[in-house]
Amino acid sequence: MKIVSKILVGLVAALHTWFLILEMFLWTKPIGLKTFSMTAEEAEASATLAANQGLYNGFLVAGLLWGLLAKKRDVVIFFLFCVIVAGVYGAATAKFSILFVQALPAALALGLTLMSSGKQDEAGSAS
């Protein structure tokens, strides 16, 4: 279970890396326009805000990777919780599908992380 939880945490980090790229670098490009259902004018007007949002996604990635690489279960739990809160908020205020794209994978990763033993994570033994 520990290995599967780490894979899911890695997947959440990969998703947020993609969100960073999409929001910081592809926002005004055709893939960004299509993904977020925007016109070129809307994208240009909101590009600075999107880049800021992408940067925050990068901080989530950094936290998740820090927790994984340093074997800090509490750090992973904190950042997964942050992703879930952001996903729920995004679903409530922007687009409902964010709940499934962002919050659900993080919730699954959090559930598996919580079910795996923290002492085993620190000792590095298999569960």
Q: What is the mean pLDDT of each run of 10 residues along the chain (127 residues)?
A: 94 98 98 96 98 97 98 97 97 95 97 80 43
Q: What pLDDT sits at residue 121?
A: 45
Q: Which of 2, 10, 4 is nearest to 69 (CA)?
A: 10
Q: What is the pLDDT of residue 1?
A: 79
Buried b (16+ CB within 10 A) or exposed e, 40-71: eeebeebeeebeebbeebbebbebbbebbeee
Phi, psi of 117 (to 5 degrees): -75, 130
* Amino acid at site 16: H
What is the reported pTM?
0.88
Residue 113: the pLDDT is 96
pLDDT, residue 30, reads 98
pLDDT at 119: 54
